Structure 1
Amino acid sequence: MATAQVVRSEWTKIRSVASTVWTLSLAVVVTIALGMLISALSKSEYDNMSARDRLSFDPTFISFAGMSLGQLAMIVFGVLVVANEYSTGMIRTSLAAVPQRGAFLFGKISVATLLALAVGMATSFAAFFLGQAMLGDLKASLGDPGVLRAVFGGGLYMTLIAMFSMGVAAMLRSPMLSLGILMPFFFLISNILSAVDATQKVGRFLPDQAGSKIMQVVPPVGDDTPYGPWGGLGIMVLWVVAALIGGFLVLKRRDA
Protein backbone atom coordinates (compact mmCIF):
# COMPACT_ATOMS: atom_id res chain seq x y z
CA MET A 1 0.00 0.00 0.00
CA ALA A 2 1.36 3.43 -0.98
CA THR A 3 2.20 5.98 1.69
CA ALA A 4 -0.67 8.25 0.61
CA GLN A 5 -3.11 5.37 0.97
CA VAL A 6 -1.75 4.55 4.42
CA VAL A 7 -2.20 8.17 5.50
CA ARG A 8 -5.79 8.27 4.20
CA SER A 9 -6.53 4.98 5.95
CA GLU A 10 -5.18 6.25 9.27
CA TRP A 11 -7.12 9.50 8.94
CA THR A 12 -10.30 7.50 8.43
CA LYS A 13 -9.55 5.42 11.53
CA ILE A 14 -8.90 8.42 13.74
CA ARG A 15 -11.92 10.50 12.74
CA SER A 16 -14.28 7.53 12.89
CA VAL A 17 -13.46 6.69 16.52
CA ALA A 18 -15.52 8.78 18.92
CA SER A 19 -13.07 8.45 21.82
CA THR A 20 -10.26 10.26 19.99
CA VAL A 21 -12.57 13.12 19.04
CA TRP A 22 -13.83 13.45 22.61
CA THR A 23 -10.34 13.45 24.12
CA LEU A 24 -9.17 16.24 21.82
CA SER A 25 -12.29 18.23 22.60
CA LEU A 26 -11.66 17.73 26.31
CA ALA A 27 -8.08 18.93 25.93
CA VAL A 28 -9.34 22.16 24.37
CA VAL A 29 -12.09 22.82 26.90
CA VAL A 30 -10.07 21.99 30.02
CA THR A 31 -7.00 23.96 28.96
CA ILE A 32 -8.94 27.09 28.08
CA ALA A 33 -11.44 26.99 30.96
CA LEU A 34 -8.87 26.35 33.69
CA GLY A 35 -6.53 28.94 32.20
CA MET A 36 -9.28 31.56 32.32
CA LEU A 37 -10.14 30.63 35.91
CA ILE A 38 -6.54 30.82 37.14
CA SER A 39 -6.01 34.09 35.27
CA ALA A 40 -9.07 35.63 36.92
CA LEU A 41 -7.93 34.44 40.36
CA SER A 42 -4.41 35.75 39.76
CA LYS A 43 -5.76 39.19 38.91
CA SER A 44 -7.81 39.31 42.10
CA GLU A 45 -4.83 38.24 44.22
CA TYR A 46 -2.21 40.46 42.57
CA ASP A 47 -2.50 43.30 45.10
CA ASN A 48 -1.82 40.84 47.93
CA MET A 49 1.32 39.41 46.35
CA SER A 50 4.75 40.04 47.81
CA ALA A 51 7.30 42.09 45.88
CA ARG A 52 9.19 38.88 45.06
CA ASP A 53 6.09 37.24 43.60
CA ARG A 54 5.32 40.30 41.51
CA LEU A 55 8.80 40.14 39.98
CA SER A 56 8.01 36.60 38.83
CA PHE A 57 4.47 37.42 37.67
CA ASP A 58 4.15 35.96 34.18
CA PRO A 59 0.75 36.76 32.62
CA THR A 60 1.51 34.64 29.57
CA PHE A 61 2.40 31.52 31.54
CA ILE A 62 -0.59 32.01 33.85
CA SER A 63 -2.96 31.76 30.88
CA PHE A 64 -1.49 28.29 30.23
CA ALA A 65 -2.28 27.04 33.74
CA GLY A 66 -4.88 24.68 32.29
CA MET A 67 -2.20 22.94 30.25
CA SER A 68 -1.36 20.70 33.21
CA LEU A 69 -4.78 19.03 32.91
CA GLY A 70 -5.20 19.51 29.17
CA GLN A 71 -2.04 17.53 28.56
CA LEU A 72 -3.63 14.52 30.24
CA ALA A 73 -6.31 14.50 27.54
CA MET A 74 -3.56 14.71 24.91
CA ILE A 75 -1.88 11.73 26.54
CA VAL A 76 -5.12 9.75 26.29
CA PHE A 77 -5.45 10.77 22.64
CA GLY A 78 -1.90 9.65 21.83
CA VAL A 79 -2.35 6.32 23.58
CA LEU A 80 -5.72 5.55 22.00
CA VAL A 81 -4.52 6.36 18.49
CA VAL A 82 -1.82 3.69 18.70
CA ALA A 83 -2.91 1.13 21.29
CA ASN A 84 -6.61 0.83 20.52
CA GLU A 85 -5.85 -1.49 17.61
CA TYR A 86 -4.01 -3.85 19.93
CA SER A 87 -6.89 -4.04 22.39
CA THR A 88 -9.45 -4.74 19.66
CA GLY A 89 -7.24 -7.11 17.63
CA MET A 90 -7.47 -4.85 14.56
CA ILE A 91 -3.69 -4.58 14.51
CA ARG A 92 -3.49 -7.94 12.69
CA THR A 93 -5.75 -6.68 9.90
CA SER A 94 -3.85 -3.39 9.68
CA LEU A 95 -0.46 -5.08 9.40
CA ALA A 96 -1.83 -7.54 6.84
CA ALA A 97 -2.95 -4.56 4.74
CA VAL A 98 0.34 -2.69 5.33
CA PRO A 99 3.15 -5.26 5.78
CA GLN A 100 5.77 -2.50 5.85
CA ARG A 101 5.64 -1.78 9.56
CA GLY A 102 7.68 1.39 9.31
CA ALA A 103 5.23 2.82 6.75
CA PHE A 104 2.31 1.75 8.94
CA LEU A 105 3.66 3.46 12.06
CA PHE A 106 4.82 6.52 10.11
CA GLY A 107 1.35 6.99 8.60
CA LYS A 108 -0.38 6.65 11.97
CA ILE A 109 2.01 8.97 13.80
CA SER A 110 2.01 11.55 10.99
CA VAL A 111 -1.78 11.88 10.83
CA ALA A 112 -2.20 11.98 14.61
CA THR A 113 0.65 14.49 14.97
CA LEU A 114 -0.80 16.89 12.40
CA LEU A 115 -4.19 16.68 14.12
CA ALA A 116 -2.62 17.22 17.55
CA LEU A 117 -0.63 20.17 16.19
CA ALA A 118 -3.74 21.85 14.75
CA VAL A 119 -5.67 21.35 17.99
CA GLY A 120 -2.68 22.32 20.14
CA MET A 121 -2.04 25.58 18.28
CA ALA A 122 -5.69 26.59 18.30
CA THR A 123 -5.94 25.78 22.00
CA SER A 124 -2.76 27.66 22.87
CA PHE A 125 -3.79 30.86 21.10
CA ALA A 126 -7.34 30.69 22.50
CA ALA A 127 -6.04 30.07 26.02
CA PHE A 128 -3.68 33.03 25.71
CA PHE A 129 -6.18 35.56 24.42
CA LEU A 130 -8.97 34.53 26.79
CA GLY A 131 -6.58 34.32 29.73
CA GLN A 132 -5.26 37.81 29.03
CA ALA A 133 -8.83 39.09 28.85
CA MET A 134 -9.33 37.79 32.40
CA LEU A 135 -6.14 39.53 33.58
CA GLY A 136 -7.35 42.97 32.50
CA ASP A 137 -4.68 45.64 32.95
CA LEU A 138 -2.14 43.01 33.99
CA LYS A 139 -2.27 41.33 30.58
CA ALA A 140 0.57 40.77 28.16
CA SER A 141 0.43 41.55 24.45
CA LEU A 142 1.27 39.12 21.66
CA GLY A 143 3.84 41.65 20.47
CA ASP A 144 5.70 41.76 23.80
CA PRO A 145 9.17 40.15 23.86
CA GLY A 146 8.96 36.38 24.14
CA VAL A 147 5.16 36.17 24.13
CA LEU A 148 4.64 34.94 20.57
CA ARG A 149 7.35 32.32 21.11
CA ALA A 150 5.58 31.17 24.27
CA VAL A 151 2.19 30.90 22.57
CA PHE A 152 3.56 28.94 19.63
CA GLY A 153 5.50 26.88 22.13
CA GLY A 154 2.30 25.98 23.96
CA GLY A 155 0.94 24.39 20.80
CA LEU A 156 4.21 22.55 20.19
CA TYR A 157 4.25 21.34 23.79
CA MET A 158 0.79 19.78 23.50
CA THR A 159 1.78 18.13 20.22
CA LEU A 160 4.99 16.66 21.66
CA ILE A 161 3.10 15.29 24.67
CA ALA A 162 0.79 13.43 22.29
CA MET A 163 3.74 12.15 20.23
CA PHE A 164 5.59 10.93 23.31
CA SER A 165 2.45 9.07 24.39
CA MET A 166 2.19 7.47 20.94
CA GLY A 167 5.75 6.18 21.22
CA VAL A 168 5.16 4.75 24.69
CA ALA A 169 1.89 3.14 23.57
CA ALA A 170 3.68 1.55 20.59
CA MET A 171 6.22 0.04 22.99
CA LEU A 172 3.72 -1.19 25.60
CA ARG A 173 0.93 -2.16 23.12
CA SER A 174 -1.79 -1.81 25.74
CA PRO A 175 -4.03 1.21 26.41
CA MET A 176 -4.49 0.39 30.09
CA LEU A 177 -0.80 -0.26 30.75
CA SER A 178 0.26 2.86 28.82
CA LEU A 179 -2.20 5.11 30.64
CA GLY A 180 -1.37 3.42 33.95
CA ILE A 181 2.24 4.51 33.52
CA LEU A 182 1.90 7.87 31.76
CA MET A 183 -0.86 9.39 33.89
CA PRO A 184 0.87 9.06 37.28
CA PHE A 185 4.22 9.89 35.69
CA PHE A 186 3.11 13.27 34.34
CA PHE A 187 0.53 14.13 36.98
CA LEU A 188 2.41 13.04 40.13
CA ILE A 189 5.92 11.69 39.75
CA SER A 190 7.27 14.43 37.51
CA ASN A 191 5.92 17.20 39.77
CA ILE A 192 7.26 15.53 42.91
CA LEU A 193 10.73 14.97 41.46
CA SER A 194 10.97 18.58 40.29
CA ALA A 195 9.75 19.97 43.64
CA VAL A 196 11.97 17.99 46.02
CA ASP A 197 15.44 19.47 46.49
CA ALA A 198 17.18 16.10 46.40
CA THR A 199 15.76 15.20 42.98
CA GLN A 200 15.18 18.64 41.49
CA LYS A 201 18.22 18.49 39.22
CA VAL A 202 16.94 15.24 37.73
CA GLY A 203 13.30 16.32 37.56
CA ARG A 204 14.05 19.40 35.48
CA PHE A 205 15.20 17.14 32.62
CA LEU A 206 11.94 15.18 32.42
CA PRO A 207 9.96 15.84 29.21
CA ASP A 208 7.12 17.91 30.65
CA GLN A 209 9.29 19.94 33.03
CA ALA A 210 11.80 20.77 30.31
CA GLY A 211 9.24 21.33 27.57
CA SER A 212 7.07 23.68 29.62
CA LYS A 213 9.94 26.20 29.72
CA ILE A 214 9.00 27.22 26.19
CA MET A 215 5.79 28.76 27.58
CA GLN A 216 7.55 30.93 30.17
CA VAL A 217 8.27 34.57 29.42
CA VAL A 218 9.25 35.77 32.91
CA PRO A 219 11.54 33.27 34.69
CA PRO A 220 10.96 32.76 38.43
CA VAL A 221 13.23 34.71 40.78
CA GLY A 222 16.30 32.62 41.58
CA ASP A 223 15.71 30.18 38.72
CA ASP A 224 18.99 28.38 38.00
CA THR A 225 17.75 26.04 35.26
CA PRO A 226 20.75 25.31 32.99
CA TYR A 227 18.77 25.71 29.75
CA GLY A 228 16.46 28.25 28.18
CA PRO A 229 13.04 27.94 26.51
CA TRP A 230 14.30 26.40 23.28
CA GLY A 231 16.80 24.23 25.11
CA GLY A 232 13.98 22.84 27.23
CA LEU A 233 11.90 22.12 24.15
CA GLY A 234 14.94 20.42 22.60
CA ILE A 235 15.20 18.12 25.62
CA MET A 236 11.53 17.24 25.22
CA VAL A 237 12.07 16.49 21.53
CA LEU A 238 14.86 14.05 22.46
CA TRP A 239 12.46 12.22 24.77
CA VAL A 240 9.88 12.05 21.98
CA VAL A 241 12.41 10.75 19.44
CA ALA A 242 13.57 8.08 21.90
CA ALA A 243 9.98 6.97 22.55
CA LEU A 244 9.12 6.79 18.85
CA ILE A 245 12.29 4.83 18.02
CA GLY A 246 11.49 2.43 20.86
CA GLY A 247 7.95 2.03 19.54
CA PHE A 248 9.21 1.31 16.02
CA LEU A 249 11.72 -1.29 17.23
CA VAL A 250 9.06 -3.11 19.26
CA LEU A 251 6.62 -3.07 16.31
CA LYS A 252 9.31 -4.33 13.95
CA ARG A 253 10.57 -7.17 16.15
CA ARG A 254 7.42 -8.48 17.84
CA ASP A 255 4.42 -10.23 16.37
CA ALA A 256 1.05 -8.49 16.38
Structure 2
Amino acid sequence: MGAVRVLRSEWTKVRSVASTAWTLGLAVVVTVGLGVLISALVRSEWDDMPARERVAFDATYVSFAGTSLGQLAMIVFGVLVVSSEYSTGMIRTSLAAVPRRGVFLAAKVAVATALALVVGMVTSFAAFFAGQAALGGHSTSLGGPGVLRAVVGGGLYMTLIAVFSMGVAVMLRGPMLSLGILMPFFFLISNVLGNVSATERIGRYLPDQAGGRIMRVVTAPGDDTPYGPWGGLGIMALWAVAALACGYALLRKRDA
Protein backbone atom coordinates (compact mmCIF):
# COMPACT_ATOMS: atom_id res chain seq x y z
CA MET A 1 0.00 0.00 0.00
CA GLY A 2 1.39 3.40 -0.99
CA ALA A 3 2.17 6.09 1.56
CA VAL A 4 -0.66 8.34 0.36
CA ARG A 5 -3.19 5.54 0.70
CA VAL A 6 -1.89 4.73 4.19
CA LEU A 7 -2.31 8.37 5.19
CA ARG A 8 -5.86 8.41 3.86
CA SER A 9 -6.60 5.21 5.72
CA GLU A 10 -5.33 6.66 8.99
CA TRP A 11 -7.32 9.85 8.43
CA THR A 12 -10.45 7.73 7.97
CA LYS A 13 -9.71 5.85 11.19
CA VAL A 14 -9.25 9.06 13.17
CA ARG A 15 -12.49 10.52 11.84
CA SER A 16 -14.43 7.34 12.53
CA VAL A 17 -13.49 7.23 16.21
CA ALA A 18 -16.17 9.14 18.12
CA SER A 19 -13.80 10.09 20.91
CA THR A 20 -11.66 12.19 18.54
CA ALA A 21 -14.17 15.01 18.23
CA TRP A 22 -15.12 15.21 21.88
CA THR A 23 -11.59 14.96 23.26
CA LEU A 24 -10.28 17.69 20.98
CA GLY A 25 -13.40 19.79 21.54
CA LEU A 26 -12.96 19.37 25.29
CA ALA A 27 -9.36 20.53 25.01
CA VAL A 28 -10.54 23.79 23.44
CA VAL A 29 -13.42 24.39 25.85
CA VAL A 30 -11.50 23.59 29.04
CA THR A 31 -8.36 25.51 28.10
CA VAL A 32 -10.19 28.64 26.96
CA GLY A 33 -12.90 28.52 29.62
CA LEU A 34 -10.58 28.06 32.58
CA GLY A 35 -8.18 30.65 31.19
CA VAL A 36 -10.98 33.22 31.00
CA LEU A 37 -12.13 32.37 34.53
CA ILE A 38 -8.65 32.73 36.04
CA SER A 39 -8.03 35.94 34.09
CA ALA A 40 -11.29 37.42 35.36
CA LEU A 41 -10.39 36.47 38.93
CA VAL A 42 -6.97 38.10 38.59
CA ARG A 43 -8.59 41.27 37.30
CA SER A 44 -11.05 41.40 40.20
CA GLU A 45 -8.32 40.83 42.80
CA TRP A 46 -5.67 43.05 41.23
CA ASP A 47 -5.95 45.79 43.86
CA ASP A 48 -5.27 43.25 46.64
CA MET A 49 -2.33 41.64 44.86
CA PRO A 50 1.03 42.02 46.69
CA ALA A 51 3.58 44.27 45.01
CA ARG A 52 6.03 41.41 44.40
CA GLU A 53 3.35 39.51 42.47
CA ARG A 54 2.54 42.54 40.33
CA VAL A 55 6.21 42.84 39.36
CA ALA A 56 6.27 39.22 38.19
CA PHE A 57 2.79 39.35 36.64
CA ASP A 58 2.64 37.64 33.26
CA ALA A 59 -0.58 38.57 31.47
CA THR A 60 0.12 36.16 28.63
CA TYR A 61 0.76 33.18 30.88
CA VAL A 62 -2.42 33.82 32.86
CA SER A 63 -4.38 33.26 29.65
CA PHE A 64 -2.98 29.74 29.53
CA ALA A 65 -4.05 28.83 33.06
CA GLY A 66 -6.45 26.27 31.59
CA THR A 67 -3.69 24.42 29.74
CA SER A 68 -2.97 22.24 32.76
CA LEU A 69 -6.43 20.70 32.41
CA GLY A 70 -6.77 21.12 28.65
CA GLN A 71 -3.72 18.93 28.14
CA LEU A 72 -5.69 16.13 29.80
CA ALA A 73 -7.90 15.92 26.73
CA MET A 74 -4.84 15.98 24.43
CA ILE A 75 -3.35 13.09 26.40
CA VAL A 76 -6.57 11.11 25.99
CA PHE A 77 -6.62 11.93 22.28
CA GLY A 78 -3.04 10.76 21.77
CA VAL A 79 -3.63 7.54 23.66
CA LEU A 80 -6.91 6.65 21.97
CA VAL A 81 -5.59 7.33 18.46
CA VAL A 82 -3.09 4.53 18.99
CA SER A 83 -4.61 2.14 21.51
CA SER A 84 -8.15 1.99 20.10
CA GLU A 85 -6.92 -0.44 17.43
CA TYR A 86 -5.37 -2.66 20.07
CA SER A 87 -8.48 -2.70 22.26
CA THR A 88 -10.71 -3.66 19.31
CA GLY A 89 -8.29 -6.11 17.72
CA MET A 90 -8.17 -4.07 14.49
CA ILE A 91 -4.41 -3.76 14.82
CA ARG A 92 -4.00 -7.21 13.21
CA THR A 93 -5.97 -6.12 10.17
CA SER A 94 -4.07 -2.84 9.94
CA LEU A 95 -0.67 -4.52 10.09
CA ALA A 96 -1.75 -7.13 7.56
CA ALA A 97 -2.74 -4.34 5.18
CA VAL A 98 0.42 -2.32 5.92
CA PRO A 99 3.15 -4.83 6.82
CA ARG A 100 5.82 -2.12 6.87
CA ARG A 101 5.36 -1.13 10.48
CA GLY A 102 7.44 2.00 10.19
CA VAL A 103 5.17 3.32 7.45
CA PHE A 104 2.11 2.33 9.45
CA LEU A 105 3.26 4.15 12.59
CA ALA A 106 4.57 7.19 10.70
CA ALA A 107 1.25 7.66 8.91
CA LYS A 108 -0.76 7.33 12.11
CA VAL A 109 1.45 9.78 13.99
CA ALA A 110 1.54 12.23 11.06
CA VAL A 111 -2.24 12.40 10.74
CA ALA A 112 -2.84 12.67 14.48
CA THR A 113 -0.06 15.25 14.92
CA ALA A 114 -1.42 17.44 12.13
CA LEU A 115 -4.88 17.35 13.70
CA ALA A 116 -3.47 18.07 17.18
CA LEU A 117 -1.43 20.97 15.77
CA VAL A 118 -4.49 22.63 14.21
CA VAL A 119 -6.55 22.23 17.38
CA GLY A 120 -3.61 23.28 19.56
CA MET A 121 -3.04 26.49 17.62
CA VAL A 122 -6.73 27.39 17.55
CA THR A 123 -6.94 26.71 21.29
CA SER A 124 -3.84 28.74 22.09
CA PHE A 125 -4.88 31.83 20.14
CA ALA A 126 -8.47 31.61 21.41
CA ALA A 127 -7.25 31.28 25.00
CA PHE A 128 -4.95 34.27 24.60
CA PHE A 129 -7.51 36.67 23.11
CA ALA A 130 -10.29 35.57 25.48
CA GLY A 131 -7.99 35.80 28.48
CA GLN A 132 -6.74 39.26 27.56
CA ALA A 133 -10.32 40.45 27.15
CA ALA A 134 -11.09 39.19 30.65
CA LEU A 135 -7.99 40.92 32.08
CA GLY A 136 -9.18 44.31 30.84
CA GLY A 137 -6.70 47.06 31.64
CA HIS A 138 -4.07 44.59 32.81
CA SER A 139 -3.88 42.83 29.46
CA THR A 140 -1.14 42.75 26.85
CA SER A 141 -1.19 42.61 23.06
CA LEU A 142 -0.04 40.04 20.55
CA GLY A 143 2.61 42.47 19.35
CA GLY A 144 4.23 42.74 22.78
CA PRO A 145 7.77 41.41 23.34
CA GLY A 146 7.70 37.61 23.41
CA VAL A 147 3.91 37.38 23.26
CA LEU A 148 3.52 35.89 19.79
CA ARG A 149 6.25 33.37 20.59
CA ALA A 150 4.37 32.35 23.73
CA VAL A 151 1.04 31.97 21.93
CA VAL A 152 2.49 29.94 19.06
CA GLY A 153 4.46 27.96 21.61
CA GLY A 154 1.27 27.18 23.49
CA GLY A 155 -0.11 25.47 20.40
CA LEU A 156 3.14 23.55 19.92
CA TYR A 157 3.09 22.51 23.58
CA MET A 158 -0.41 21.02 23.23
CA THR A 159 0.71 19.19 20.08
CA LEU A 160 3.80 17.70 21.72
CA ILE A 161 1.71 16.50 24.67
CA ALA A 162 -0.38 14.49 22.21
CA VAL A 163 2.71 13.17 20.37
CA PHE A 164 4.38 12.08 23.61
CA SER A 165 1.16 10.32 24.64
CA MET A 166 1.07 8.51 21.30
CA GLY A 167 4.59 7.24 21.87
CA VAL A 168 3.72 5.94 25.32
CA ALA A 169 0.55 4.32 23.98
CA VAL A 170 2.53 2.50 21.27
CA MET A 171 4.79 1.10 23.97
CA LEU A 172 2.02 0.06 26.36
CA ARG A 173 -0.74 -0.66 23.81
CA GLY A 174 -3.61 -0.70 26.32
CA PRO A 175 -5.57 2.56 26.85
CA MET A 176 -6.15 2.01 30.56
CA LEU A 177 -2.51 1.26 31.28
CA SER A 178 -1.32 4.21 29.18
CA LEU A 179 -3.71 6.66 30.83
CA GLY A 180 -3.00 5.12 34.23
CA ILE A 181 0.65 6.08 33.83
CA LEU A 182 0.35 9.38 31.96
CA MET A 183 -2.30 10.98 34.18
CA PRO A 184 -0.42 10.57 37.49
CA PHE A 185 2.83 11.49 35.76
CA PHE A 186 1.61 14.86 34.47
CA PHE A 187 -0.79 15.80 37.26
CA LEU A 188 1.06 14.54 40.31
CA ILE A 189 4.60 13.24 39.87
CA SER A 190 5.82 16.04 37.62
CA ASN A 191 4.36 18.76 39.85
CA VAL A 192 5.87 17.21 42.98
CA LEU A 193 9.32 16.79 41.43
CA GLY A 194 9.23 20.31 39.98
CA ASN A 195 8.21 22.03 43.23
CA VAL A 196 10.23 20.19 45.88
CA SER A 197 13.64 21.73 46.42
CA ALA A 198 15.41 18.37 46.59
CA THR A 199 14.16 17.30 43.16
CA GLU A 200 13.58 20.66 41.47
CA ARG A 201 16.66 20.40 39.27
CA ILE A 202 15.42 17.04 37.96
CA GLY A 203 11.82 18.11 37.58
CA ARG A 204 12.67 21.04 35.33
CA TYR A 205 13.76 18.58 32.65
CA LEU A 206 10.48 16.69 32.56
CA PRO A 207 8.46 17.25 29.36
CA ASP A 208 5.68 19.43 30.73
CA GLN A 209 7.92 21.43 33.06
CA ALA A 210 10.41 22.17 30.29
CA GLY A 211 7.87 22.70 27.51
CA GLY A 212 5.66 24.94 29.61
CA ARG A 213 8.32 27.66 29.66
CA ILE A 214 7.52 28.50 26.05
CA MET A 215 4.24 30.07 27.25
CA ARG A 216 5.97 32.43 29.68
CA VAL A 217 6.88 35.98 28.76
CA VAL A 218 7.98 37.30 32.16
CA THR A 219 10.79 35.55 34.02
CA ALA A 220 10.11 35.26 37.74
CA PRO A 221 12.69 36.83 40.09
CA GLY A 222 15.29 34.28 41.18
CA ASP A 223 14.55 31.88 38.32
CA ASP A 224 17.81 30.08 37.52
CA THR A 225 16.53 27.66 34.89
CA PRO A 226 19.48 26.93 32.57
CA TYR A 227 17.47 27.04 29.34
CA GLY A 228 15.14 29.48 27.65
CA PRO A 229 11.64 29.11 26.17
CA TRP A 230 12.72 27.46 22.93
CA GLY A 231 15.27 25.33 24.75
CA GLY A 232 12.52 24.05 27.04
CA LEU A 233 10.29 23.22 24.08
CA GLY A 234 13.24 21.45 22.49
CA ILE A 235 13.62 19.29 25.59
CA MET A 236 9.93 18.43 25.39
CA ALA A 237 10.30 17.55 21.70
CA LEU A 238 13.18 15.21 22.56
CA TRP A 239 10.93 13.43 25.08
CA ALA A 240 8.28 13.01 22.37
CA VAL A 241 10.80 11.69 19.83
CA ALA A 242 12.26 9.30 22.40
CA ALA A 243 8.79 7.96 23.27
CA LEU A 244 8.00 7.36 19.59
CA ALA A 245 11.39 5.74 18.97
CA CYS A 246 10.89 3.33 21.87
CA GLY A 247 7.37 2.61 20.69
CA TYR A 248 8.57 1.86 17.17
CA ALA A 249 11.32 -0.43 18.46
CA LEU A 250 8.75 -2.45 20.41
CA LEU A 251 6.26 -2.41 17.54
CA ARG A 252 8.87 -4.01 15.25
CA LYS A 253 9.75 -6.80 17.67
CA ARG A 254 6.46 -8.03 19.07
CA ASP A 255 3.34 -9.57 17.64
CA ALA A 256 0.17 -7.54 17.18
Q: Same fold (TM over 0.5)?
A: yes
CA deviations on 1:176-203 (whole Å, 9 max, x unpaired) are 0000000010011101111111111100
Query: Moved runs in structure 1, 4+ residues, more than 2 A?
Result: none
User: Which runs of 5 or more residues in structure 1 are unaligned?
Assistant: none
| 1:38/1:65 contact within 8 Å kept | yes
Q: Are 1:98 and 2:125 matched, yes or no?
A: no
What does residue 121 of structure 1 align with?
Answer: 121
Q: Give 3-state SS (helix, strand or coil) of 2:188's partner.
A: helix
CA distance in 1, matches of 2:242, 2:119: 24
1:74 Cα shift? Answer: 0.1
1:212 Cα shift? Answer: 0.4
CA distance in 1, matches of 2:218, 2:139: 13
1:14 Cα shift? Answer: 0.4
Aligned pairs for 1:8-157 (under 5 A) are 8-157=8-157
- Length, aligned pairs only: 256
| 1:64/1:124 contact within 8 Å kept | yes
What does residue 228 of structure 2 align with?
Answer: 228
| 1:150/1:217 contact within 8 Å kept | yes
AA of the residue aligned to 2:96: A
1:221 Cα shift? Answer: 1.6
1:222 Cα shift? Answer: 1.2
Aligned-residue RMSD, C-alpha: 0.5
Q: Give 3-state SS (helix, strand or coil) of 1:227's partner.
A: coil
AA of the residue aligned to 2:40: A
| 1:214/1:230 contact within 8 Å kept | yes
Q: Give 3-state SS (helix, strand or coil) of 1:152's partner.
A: helix
1:49 Cα shift? Answer: 1.3
Aligned pairs for 1:150-169 (under 5 A) are 150-169=150-169
AA of the residue aligned to 1:132: Q
| 1:124/1:152 contact within 8 Å kept | yes
1:47 Cα shift? Answer: 1.2
CA deviations on 1:100-119 (whole Å, 9 max, x unpaired) are 00000000000000000000
| 1:52/1:221 contact within 8 Å kept | no
| 1:160/1:240 contact within 8 Å kept | yes
CA distance in 2, matches of 1:241, 1:55: 37
